[in-house]
Structures are given as C-alpha cells and as structure tokens.
Structure 1
Amino acid sequence: MTGSVVFDPILPWAVIWTLAALGAVMVAFALWRGLSGWWLRGLALGVLLVALANPALQEEDRAPLSDIVIAVVDESASQRISDRQAQSAAALAAVEAEIRALPDTELRVVRVGDGEGDEGSLVMTALAESLAEEPRARIAGAILITDGQVHDLELAPQMPAPLHVLLTGHEEDWDRRLVIRNAPAFAILGEPVSLVLRIEDQGRVPASAGTSADLTISIDGGEPQTVRVPVGEDLELPVTLPHGGMNVLQFQVAASPDELTDRNNSAVVQINGVRDRLRVLLVSGEPHAGERVWRNLLKSDASVDLVHFTILRPPEKQDGIPVSELSLIAFPTRELFVEKIEEFDLIIFDRYRLRGILPTSYLENVRDYVRNGGTVLVAAGPEFGSADSLWRSPLADVMPVQATSRVTEGGFRPTLTDVGRKHPVTQGLEAQAPEGGWGRWFRQIELSATSGQVVMNGAGDRPLLVLDRVDEGRIAVLASDQIWLWGRGYEGGGPQLELLRRLAHWMMKEPDLEEEALIAAGEGARMTITRRTIGEDPGEVTITGPDGAETTLSMQETAPGRWSVVWEAPEMGVYRLAQGEQRAVIAVGPSAPREFEETIASGDRLAPVIGPTNGGTLRLEEGAPDIRAVREGRVAAGRGWIGITPRGAHVTQDVRVAALLPGWLYLLLAASLALGAWLREGRFGRRA
C-alpha cells in the first residue's frame, strides 16, 4: 500500500497561477505600507489557492512483479565445433538452477540457429526481439551463451540492465583456414588467370603446425594436384581454364589433427570460361543464292573473326584472263590449310567441289584437324553427289554419311527426328514454326548416315542434317543448300537463324549445347539438377555432400531429352554429382560459410556492447558462474560471478482517492486568517 498527493484543480492552472501572482503583489504592497497583518493576509490567500488546486490523497494497492532474465543460447554452426554444444548445455542448466534459487525471478530462454543464407549468428537480433516482447521495467539482466562470433552487432539493443557473455570454447584453441582474396568471375580460354589465395592461422597456434601446408587443387572434380605453400602469405596462383562455360575450382588445405575444424580449409571458385575471339574459315565453292546466309550469320556475331573466300571462276575455265587479275588477293591456301589451320575454331565448306585448288594433302590436313579437336561443317549442294564431291576426298574418312549421287528436286518440309527432338541443336525448334508449319525446301542431296545422329529429315525421310563426333573433333553435314528459303520467309519460312546459330555454336563446342551433360544450378539451399541426353532414361543421380554422405535421387523427364529433379541441400558446401560417365560439381552457398571465417571463441567483438551495461565476459571452461543481485549502477560481474539488477516492478490492483481537506474547512481557515489580519490591523493595532 502506497500513498501520494495528487491535484485536481477546480480552475485551470493558468488561472490559479495568475491569481497567485496577483496575491503575491497585494501581499508585497501590504508589507510596503507597513500593515502588521500582511502575513495573515498572505496565509489566507495561500489557503484559497490550495483550495482551488483541490489536493487529494491517492492510495494504491500494488502487487510486486517478478524480475525477468533473458538467456540467449547461440546454436549456430560455429557452436557445433569441438565440445561447445556440451558447454552450452551445461551452462544453460547452471543458469536455470541459479535463477530458480533467486526470489521473484523468471528466466526466458531464446535459442538462435544459423541465419538465412549466409548471414551468420544473429544473436543481437534475437535479443532485441525478446526484449520487445517483455516489459522493460521487469528486465533484470540478459545472458548470452555464445562463442562471441556474432554477426549483427550493429543491431544490439539498448539494455536496461546488465548484459553478460558466457563464452564457450577454450583458450588453447587454434584453427587454420583458406581465404580466396581475389578471383575473377570469368576468364578467357587459353589464357592464364591469376587467383590470390592465403592460408591463415588463428588462435594459439602450436609449433607443430608448421609454416607451410599442402594445398590440393581440382577443377570440376577432376584429378587433384597438390602443392606445398607457405602459411600467412598471399599466394598468386595462375590458372588456365580447360573448357568454356562454368568451371568449378576447388581448393583444399590439408587438415591438422588438432585444429578446431576443417570446414574452412576449403574454398570453391566458379569461373565462367569464355572465348576471346572465335575464328571461322568459310570457303564457298561457287556463288549461289544461299551463300550470304553463312556470311551474314557469322558477321552478325561480334565475337567471330571470319575469313571468307568464294571461288568465283573455276580453274578449268580458259578465257585468256591473266591469273593476276582473277582476284584482289591470292588465295593463301598453304597459310590457311597448313600453317594456321589449328588456329581456326570452325571450317565451313559451302558447296565446295574438288577443282584442284586444294591439293589432297591439304584436305588430309583438314581431316587430321578434325580428329585432333577441330570442327568442320559441310553445307552440301548438287556437287556433293558428283565425281568432284568432298565425299570423295580424304575428308570422307571422318564424314558420317555416304553420298548416293542422287539429287532430289521437289518441294518437301524438313522435320525433326526422334533424336532431333532431344538434341540441343534442334530441340524445341518445332515450337518456332509459323502457322501451317515450316516452309518448303526444293532440293536435297540423297545421303545415307553411317554414324552420328540424324537430327533432321527431308524428302522421303532421308537424312537432312547429320551431326557426329570424330575422336576429339566434330563434323556436321547439311544435305541441302536451300535453307535460305526460310530466311526469305517463303511459305512462312522457318527458324533459319536459330538453327544455324545453334549448329555453329555446337560445332564450336559451346557447353550449353552439349547433347550429353549433367547440370546443377543452385538457388539458396535448393539445387536443380538437369540431365541432357539423346538416349533413354539416364537412371539415378548420386550426390556426394561436403561431409562425404551420399544421396541417390531419381529423375523425371520434363521434356524430350531432358530429365530433372529438385533437391534441398542439407548444408552449405561443395556437392559432387555423378550419373554414369557424367560428372558435375556445384557449390551451395560458400564452401566456408561466414560462421567459419572466425572460429576462435573471443569476447572482444562483444566488449563494446557489454561494457556500458556493467556486465562481464566469463569463460565456461573455468566453470559456470554464480548469479547475484546487485544494485542498479554498480559493477555487475566479477571473478566467478555475474549480477542482475532487481527492478522492483509492480502492478497496481486498486486506487483510492480522497480529498485532503473538506471544502468548508478551507473556507473556515481562510476566513479565520482574514479576520485575524483585520483585528490585528484594526482594533488591536489602534490599542498598540
């Protein structure tokens, strides 16, 4: 039960204060005139002003409230290192026992896991949210059970009571980690790119750790290479990407048996391999309506360097024109087909026939160029079935077709084969057909496929487009020279530009057009695995996680030649995928998450937050502390103990208000004082 005086003025306070000022002036005037009852007049006026203020006695019936202590338990990934989980559990049990022993004190326990993505330990966010749910007048203190590696210090709330840290870990802990200081997002194929790495030691590093470590490097999960590198120094590592598209480089430092964790001993860098310039050699055997199709396609790509020669006049034509006047420059056959043939990414023979311009030895060079990794595209015309066809040259050794010497004249519509509906070069082209279907072509060279994949058929369901791999290279044969009709929009046309673009890029080994590929893409923890194949069901895919655990998943066919499955990765890190001969590597999140950048338990980061609250930091390896009650503003931590501040919060159950004096009594007092002043200044004053 508590009481206090409250005022409920009869008149506004402004009026009362105005009357008080006037009364003070009148009392001062009476004093100046020497009136002996001036002080009685002042008292009478004061009684009237108090009556106008209407004072009352307010009595409250209060019930005390218990104090609240908040315990935030850090359960992020770094807290699962070593014996920190056991330390946290024992510390929480000790805190609960200590709080139960204190009178009128409650404990609120908040557990904090890993933040979304790679946000780290959001301990301060959890503390702020917990404070917002409780009356601040009841907060007697807060205790953080953590390793001190908190990643949201800027969100630390203003504490109304002491904040303490119970630190897990051990003073003798040490750890080694791998840091990628600089890594480009893309690199040019064939040119080395420099990555800057550093191996760092943290904590109390023992002498047995040494000053160098073994660094293992692998690309796309391939054969690893191990090198010895120094510790504590920046290492510039030149890397040449083996293929276009995404290259996944994994770096691994050998783990020491006594370091805290090896989760930060690895790092993954994903670099997109791009070609600087694509060099294409286009040789047109004669001028024809579709000749500019290839030239326009290749010249429209700024990344393509095109060398184009058109044979305008066959050597057998004798009309007396000097050879020096037949062309602007001489056809550099030896330079192109002997000295620099390996520099080209693609060679296109467009309606080329054997006329003696290219000797047999040069065509043998082209055949060997294909086998060694080069690519050749043959766009055939009527000459392909004649005696001077390229099929009758050394190139026939690598061609996937045989010519029958027949040329079909008549309208037909190209169609995709079952393989063509699955192959990336032609997959989905039917969806780009105009209303009524693709326009017709009117000439096709009759071929029979001996190897490779027939992706398009023409007249009489005979092969129209055949793709094949020969040793390390690739070759394609298009058995018609009338694809230009699609470009002209004849009978609605067709996807000429898209088909030729895909064909050229498949020939130049673009990864996105590989017909057999295992692809993994990640968004957060969700992994989308896609298998491209021109075969049947590829079977199950095996996923090997960063901890070595294997998971086997079945895939569903989502489109012709495309199988996929979506999987939630259980943790961040590097995952290896295998399905038959296909391999893929994907990094889900960073290989060394933010939680493992700093693994040594330390209270230094939290010191600026703990200090202003008079709290303290105690290591749990020294034992759980006692909890004491301390006065507000006093030091709240010492050796082996921490303090909380009782707040004395209460709830008011009943309020009673009674007038301090009845009104008639105020009037009686005022009248008595006024009468006393009159008597003193009148009758008694004259007698004196």
Structure 2
Amino acid sequence: MDPAYNAWRLTALSPLPPWALALLGLAALAAVALAWRGLHGEARPRRRLVLVALRAASAALALFLLVEPALELLQTARVRNRFAVLVDASRSMAFPVEPGGPPRASAAGAFLADHRAELARLQDRVDVEWYAFGGDVAPVDPAAAARGLPPTGGKTDLLGALDAAAAGGGGASRKLAGALILSDGADNAALAGGLDGASRAKLRALGFPVNTVAVGRGAPRDLAIERLAVDDFAFVRNTVTVEATLRARGFSDEDVELVLRREGSVVAQAHVKLQRGKDRYTVPLTFAPDQTGTFVFTVAAPVFPGEAVVENNQRSFVLRVIRDRVRVLLVAGRPSWDVRFLRGLLKQDPNVDLVSFFILRSNADQPGPQEELSLIPFPVSEIFGEQLKTFDAVLFVNFAYGPYRGLEIDRFLPNVREYVLNGGALAMIGGEQSFGDGHYGETPLADVLPVAPLDGTTEAETEVHPRLTAEGKRHPVTALAPGEGQNDAVWAALPPVTAVNLTRALAPGAGATVLLDAPGVEVEGRPAPLVAVREVAHGRTLAVTTDATWRWGFVAAESGQGNRAYLRFWNGALRWLVRDPALAPLQVEPDAPAAEPGAPVGLTVSARNPDWGPAEGKKVSAELVSDDGRSVARGEAVAGADGTARIELVPPGPGAYKVVAHGDGGAETATAAVAVRGAGPEDADVAPRPELMSAIAEATGGRASALPGGDLPDLALQEADVVEIGRRKAVPIWDRWWTLAALAGALAAEWVLRRRWGYW
C-alpha cells in the first residue's frame, strides 16, 4: 500500500446503476440453477458437481468483470470532539449557596478556579469550550468564569443551553463528547416541572453525557405568591374566587394576611396561619365586581424581616369584567303598540334580563296612596333605591311623572339622576305621558336628558318622516346599514311616525347630539328632535320623542321591507347605552395582560372614523397611569391603513397600571389595564434544585456532584468515532489478464467436458 494512505475499502467502478447490477446477479444465479436442473438425470454425482462448479465459476467471473471492483485507498484522521463547560449566569445565582453563605455565582466561580487545571488537561483529548447562559447562551472566557460571572440573566433554560452548545461546534463532524454544567437547577423553562418522559427523551437525544455540579443546598427564608388561579374574565355582580398559592420557606407559626386590591382599593382579605414543615398554602379570595371594564388586581402578602426576595410577595393579574346579561328596567305608563313591540324585542333577546312594570295612571288621576290605586303596589323604594344600581339601563316608556308629584316617587327621581351621573343609562321614549306632557322639565331628570322637555305642551299628531342629521349619519345608534348611502336609503324607505313630543335641542357644549329630527314639526324655528343622545358625566341618556317606532317594524314588514331596521335601531340603541366595547370608535389592547420587570408594554390602538371606517393617518396617544392617578409613561403614533397603531411604553417599575388611549384632540378615550410583575421567573422561587441536576446526569449517562462540599466528578466523555477523509485513490483489480483467462478457461472446460460426457 502506498505509505501516503493508511486505510482502504472495496468499491465498484462500473458505470451501470445498482439496479442493473442486481438484475445481472440474478441472471447469473439463474444460469447456475438451470445447469443444476439440466443434470438431474446424471447418475454420477462427481460429473454433475464438476459441471455445475464450472458454470458457477464462469457466472462469478463474468459478474466480477461487469462490476469492475477496485480498491479505494484512503488517507484518514480522527477528529477531536468538543467538550462544553456551561456556567449559569441567571439572577437566581445571586442567592446564597446556603443560608448565610456566599452567593451561588461566587461559589461556582471558586469551584472552577480550584479545578481549572483539571479541566485544562481535557485539552489532550477534546477541545474544551466555555459558555455562560442566563437566557442567551454565549462563549465566555475561562478566567472570567473562574472569577464568578455576574448573575444578570433573566431565565434559566438548562435544556436550551445544552441544545445551543451542541449546535455551536461547526457541524456534525464536531459533535460534543460531553458537557459539564454548573447551575442551581432553578429551571423556569422546559424543565420547570422536572423530568418527564418527553424531557428525558430530549436529553437522551442530545447524544452525549451531561455531567452536573449543583450549586446550592437549602432555600433561604422567603415568602412568595407563587401563582394565581383565576379566569380571564368575570361577570359583573357575580362572585369571583381567586385561588392564591402562597409559598413559605423558613417560616413557622407566623400569621399572614393576604390582601386583594383592585387598582389600590381593597376588595378581599384572607388570613393564613403558617405551619412548621408545610411550605405551600392555597388561599381563596372572594369578591363580586360591581362594574364592567378591564381592571388590574393585586394579591399581596406582608414582607417579613430577612426575606431573600421581597418583590415576589405580590402578584398582579388583569381581569375583564363583563355583563352576563344586560339588566334592563322598563317602566311603562300604559299598554301601547310601542311598549308591546319593545318588550317583545327585549324579552326574546337571551342577553337581556328584563324587569318591566306598567303604571296605569294618567294626568287626570287624583294624587293618592298607591295602595288604593294598584292591585300590586309599584315597589318604588326597592326599584329606585338600593336596587337601582343593579340595572344596566332604565327605560321610561310613555310614563307620566305628573300624577306622582308630591308622592313617594318624588323622593327617588334624584336617585335616577345620580344613577346616570355615576355611569348608568337612561332612555325616555315618547307618548302622551312623556317629556313635556309628563312635566319632566320640572324634575331632576331634566339635568341629564339629551333634550329639554317643554312642560305643558302636547305631542304633535302628524305623519313625520325621520331625517338623519349630520351627526346621525355616522352614529352607531342610527346605523341601520353599512355605508352612508345605504343607511340613508334605509331611513328614507321607513314608514313615517304619527306623533312627536315637542322638545328643544340642548345648547352646544351640553354633550347632547340630535341624530334624527322631525321635518315639519318646529320648535323655536328649528325641526324638533326625534332621536337624541347625550354623554353626561359617566353615564349616557337617550331620548326617542315618539311612541310610533313600532311602525318601523310592523308596518315596514307589512309592506315587504321586513322588521330588520326596527331590530337594528333598538339593538344599537341598547348597545350604545350600556357601552358595548365593540361600538367604541377608539380601542386599546395590550399585547399581554402582564409584563415582565423591565420589559416594555406593547399596545395596539385601533381608531375608527365617524363612519366607522379605519381612521388612516389619525394621530393617537397612550399613557400608563399609576394607582395614584399619575401619568408615568406616554407615547404617540399615527394609525396605518387598517386604522391601528403600535405604541410601546416602558413602565417605571412593577405595579398595576391603567392604560388610557386618546384620539386626536383628546376627545375620544379608551382604557385597558396591564400588570407589571414585581418578580420575574428568576426571582419567583429562590430554592435550588440539586435533585433536577442529578436527574439530568442520570438520564444522559453523566456524573453528578453538588456544592458546597462536592468535588469535580469523574467526567464521562464519549470517544471520537468520526473519521476525516483527506485524500483517496481508486486502484482497479478487475482489468487483469488472468481474469479474462480464468473466465475463458472455465467456459472452455465446461464445453469440453459436456461434449466428452455426452451433454450438449
């Protein structure tokens, strides 16, 4: 063999494809089999054996020539595999290696300094690579690792670090022969729950032994809210239970008071008595949210002296409070077609909980005790007293206030006004006992209605085709069809109303908007309002100054138009009154309900034009507001073609923040909430996990040790089994004269013997 080559192997130089060579091999076998069968009558076995052997030799030599075998001479060298030393640099390594001891990072650095010479001797067998991990995995200088790496990383991902080290050697030929990992084992990624079947399979799939040194024994004194179990949303006025898992290490016999706050206000409390030997407690906190919206809640435990981490003593979460059903109070003065259709619509809606009353009194009735005029007395004090705030909307339908002046209800009308100012919704629907006909201009309700009732007037009985105002063309209450042109056409085709209460539009600045007016019915030289809305303080009010909206359903259906317009009008009106979030022209949504410490809060702000199309080019802003009402971060952006804009705000620290978005000019606002955690995954649990480190070593065939007190384990490594081919040369062995001579001799010998022995 040429001394330049140190290995060889057989190869084939034939230009024929493998499948063709396989077919030729089968043909050779068939030729031998036919020869054997043709000699089955030969009585002398020796002759039969000689002839078959010659046939087999001929077939083998022919196949040998067709395959064209050769010797491939190789120049090979074994590749040095790698060995990875991975050092944990996450924040949990700042905790003491044992109660009262040095930081874990310092203990790991001292261990590496003591055994640096032993690790250096590995260079005789493998290439030693050093890495630090704490979220990202990056090469590190061995001297820096021996001094102790700064524990600043925000994540411990042991499996991810091993994967990254295995992939960092420049290809499959540079695989790891093994690894040594120094960590406290406080994994908060794939191995946070320990080793299961899937994670063991992933560790074995690494293909190399992992040797471990667990840094830390015993957990320092710490009290933490470990987790909160609560739904993402709740129903207003329904009981919500938050299950808080309290973890206590290093405590015994202390009393702990857990407090649940909503944006600074205490909503629930619970008492826990800590016991020696028990480190986890499940504590239920129960409350009933009293208003809808998105809020940040915080569960907090007291901070005791000597705790390792105080940031994990509280944890916040975002809860969206919605209505399970819209609770509506309908008070009607007398049966009518409008009352019948409206009650039917509300009763058929599964999302509406309707409570309705008929007060069968008129302006001609003399004042007197309710009990003398009613079979079932109207529960005025209950409905307009303590129960009023339980309703999402109150509807007065052709209800005369006049006959009640001076009676018990007179004391409760201010409650209705306060209900609206504090966020309630009130709708007044017309008729001969409503607005000025019902003398509401003299009541506290005049302060919140979107029109001014003209007391002493009577309704105008005339056919009126409702007309959209400029504001009504783009308001969701009067949006019966998509697009301004289609919406105008739907309103123009509706049957006229037959009566209008005389009212006056409020002066600009009162927050009232007329959406429909009544051409031909004038008040002070202007068309009388037919539908008007108002934003007053925190509440909303609606005025419909006719009791003939039923015609938009019944008469329209009779003429073939259907009742869709009637249904859409009242559904839209109710959704607007109760502030359905889908109808807000400006909306803001955080990327996630909670953010990690130091991470920005990503927000998506959606803006729509008055016609509810995307507000492309609109300038929007958003701010974070703390519990004490201070704006702590603010940003601006311009909406894109889809009406959305991205804003990122950096909170000053952990806590609960209200998100307030503003449209151009500040007239439109939207709110959300976000919680910034006080402790990230690295600070949530200060306990080391030496048992996880030992399990990793066992699963991969490595060896384990632990600090303090442990020594460098006898490192398990795999020998290099991959060779590198530098040069190669093929030497044919088929093109020799003796190969052809042997084939010719075998064929000639078989032919001669067959003739001599009588076979043809």
State the TM bucket, normalised to the shorter chain. Answer: 0.5 to 0.7
Matching residue of 2:673: 585
- Trace 1:228-307 onto structure 2 (pairs within 5 A): 229-231=272-274, 232-255=280-303, 259=307, 261-262=309-310, 264-275=312-323, 278-307=326-355
Mapped contact 1:63–1:653 kept (Cα < 8 A): no
**Secondary structure at 2:571's aligned position in 1?**
helix
**Secondary structure at 2:590's aligned position in 1?**
strand
Please state how far the C-alpha of 1:151 moved relative to its aligned partner. 0.9
Summarize the Cα distance change of 1:502–1:370 in structure 2 as closer, same or farther, 3 Å threshold: farther
- Trace 1:111-130 onto structure 2 (pairs within 5 A): 113=135, 123=160, 126-127=163-164, 130=167
Matching residue of 1:218: 261
Matching residue of 1:602: 689
Mapped contact 2:260–2:300 kept (Cα < 8 A): yes
Mapped contact 1:244–1:511 kept (Cα < 8 A): no
Please state how far the C-alpha of 1:596 moved relative to its aligned partner. 5.9
- The number of residue pairs the alignment matches comes to 625
Matching residue of 2:127: 105
**Secondary structure at 1:381's aligned position in 2?**
coil
Q: Deviations over 1:585-637 (max 9, x none)?
A: 2247x887666665533242354442254322345777995xxxxxxxxxxx3
The structure carrying a bigger strand percent of its residues is: 1
Matching residue of 2:581: 512
Matching residue of 1:527: 603
**Secondary structure at 2:377's aligned position in 1?**
helix
Mapped contact 1:60–1:654 kept (Cα < 8 A): yes
1:196 and 2:239 equivalent? Answer: no
Matching residue of 2:487: 434
Mapped contact 2:359–2:378 kept (Cα < 8 A): no
**Secondary structure at 1:235's aligned position in 2?**
strand
Please state how far the C-alpha of 1:147 moved relative to its aligned partner. 3.9
Please state how far the C-alpha of 1:87 moved relative to its aligned partner. 7.8
Tell me the amino acid that sits aligned with residue 61 of structure 1.
Q
Q: Deviations over 1:189-230 (max 9, x none)?
A: 3343333222113xxx445x8744453421145468776534
Please state how far the C-alpha of 1:330 moved relative to its aligned partner. 7.8
- Measure the CA separation in 2 of the matches of 1:574 and 1:121: 30
Tell me the amino acid that sits aligned with residue 141 of structure 1.
G
Tell me the amino acid that sits aligned with residue 381 of structure 2.
V
Matching residue of 2:635: 553
2:502 maps to which of 436, 445, 465: 445
1:649 and 2:723 equivalent? Answer: yes
- Measure the CA separation in 1 of the matches of 2:70 and 2:608: 88
**Secondary structure at 1:161's aligned position in 2?**
coil
Please state how far the C-alpha of 1:362 moved relative to its aligned partner. 1.8
**Secondary structure at 2:400's aligned position in 1?**
coil
Moved more, 277-286 or 652-661: 652-661
**Secondary structure at 2:77's aligned position in 1?**
strand
**Secondary structure at 2:331's aligned position in 1?**
strand
- Measure the CA separation in 1 of the matches of 2:211 and 2:442: 88
- Measure the CA separation in 1 of the matches of 2:584 and 2:90: 43
- Measure the CA separation in 2 of the matches of 1:385 and 1:193: 41
1:336 and 2:379 equivalent? Answer: yes
Q: Identical aligned pairs, as a percentage?
A: 18
Q: Deviations over 1:341-379 (max 9, x none)?
A: 443524422223356378632243233344256654221
- Trace 1:26-425 onto structure 2 (pairs within 5 A): 59-70=73-84, 98=120, 101-102=123-124, 105=127, 107=129, 113=135, 123=160, 126-127=163-164, 130=167, 134-135=171-172, 138-148=175-185, 149=187, 150-151=189-190, 153=199, 154-167=201-214, 173=220, 175-180=222-227, 182-201=229-248, 205-206=249-250, 211-222=254-265, 229-231=272-274, 232-255=280-303, 259=307, 261-262=309-310, 264-275=312-323, 278-310=326-358, 316=364, 331=374, 334-342=377-385, 343=387, 345=391, 346-354=393-401, 356=403, 360-371=407-418, 375-381=425-431, 383-384=433-434, 388-392=438-442, 395-396=445-446, 399=449, 401-404=451-454, 411=464, 413-415=466-468
- Measure the CA separation in 2 of the matches of 1:57 and 1:516: 81
Moved more, 516-525 or 646-655: 516-525
Mapped contact 2:479–2:487 kept (Cα < 8 A): no
Matching residue of 1:675: none
Aligned-residue Cα RMSD (Å) equals 6.2
Mapped contact 1:404–1:447 kept (Cα < 8 A): yes
Matching residue of 2:41: none
Please state how far the C-alpha of 1:2 moved relative to its aligned partner. 2.7
- Measure the CA separation in 1 of the matches of 2:246 and 2:237: 28
Please state how far the C-alpha of 1:563 moved relative to its aligned partner. 9.6
Give unmatched runs, 5+ long, in structure 1.
24-31, 34-41, 319-328, 626-636, 672-688
**Secondary structure at 2:344's aligned position in 1?**
helix
Summarize the Cα distance change of 1:215–1:190 in structure 2 as closer, same or farther, 3 Å threshold: same
Please state how far the C-alpha of 1:576 moved relative to its aligned partner. 1.0
Mapped contact 1:165–1:618 kept (Cα < 8 A): yes
Mapped contact 2:635–2:649 kept (Cα < 8 A): no
Mapped contact 2:404–2:410 kept (Cα < 8 A): no
- Measure the CA separation in 1 of the matches of 2:639 and 2:11: 82
Summarize the Cα distance change of 1:425–1:124 in structure 2 as closer, same or farther, 3 Å threshold: farther
- Measure the CA separation in 1 of the matches of 2:545 and 2:533: 8
**Secondary structure at 1:566's aligned position in 2?**
strand
- Measure the CA separation in 2 of the matches of 1:466 and 1:52: 99
**Secondary structure at 1:585's aligned position in 2?**
strand
Tell me the amino acid that sits aligned with residue 218 of structure 1.
R
Tell me the amino acid that sits aligned with residue 648 of structure 2.
W
Summarize the Cα distance change of 1:553–1:436 in structure 2 as closer, same or farther, 3 Å threshold: same
Please state how far the C-alpha of 1:447 moved relative to its aligned partner. 1.7
Summarize the Cα distance change of 1:663–1:400 in structure 2 as closer, same or farther, 3 Å threshold: closer
Tell me the amino acid that sits aligned with residue 467 of structure 1.
R
Matching residue of 2:648: 567
- Measure the CA separation in 1 of the matches of 2:326 and 2:384: 13
Tell me the amino acid that sits aligned with residue 296 of structure 2.
V
- Measure the CA separation in 1 of the matches of 2:298 and 2:207: 48
Matching residue of 1:454: 512
